[in-house]
Amino acid sequence: MWHGNAEAKDLEKGTYAIFHTTQGDFTVKLFPEAAPKTVANFVGLATGEKEWKDPKTGEMKKSHFYDGL
């Protein structure tokens, strides 16, 4: 479970993602029961657990896809 700018005690039970932008941070709740494949794909890419193909090199990587984008 990820917690963002909201206090952990203020969030209902669930899975969350935090986004850091130049305009500030925001937290979103993910709904794996409604979109299990999408949430699993997003979480896997964000945590580095899911392999992805680098579009520039064609190399398969297993790292944080969204880190620094």
pLDDT the model gives residue 9 = 65
**pTM, full prediction:** 0.70
Phi, psi (deg, nearest 5) at residue 63: -145, 180
Distance CA 8, CA 64 (A): 23
The tens digit of pLDDT for each residue in 3-58 reads 445 566 678 889 998 888 899 999 999 999 999 999 999 999 988 899 999 999 99
pLDDT the model gives residue 39 = 96
Distance CA 13, CA 5 (A): 16
44's enclosing H/E stretch is helix 36-47
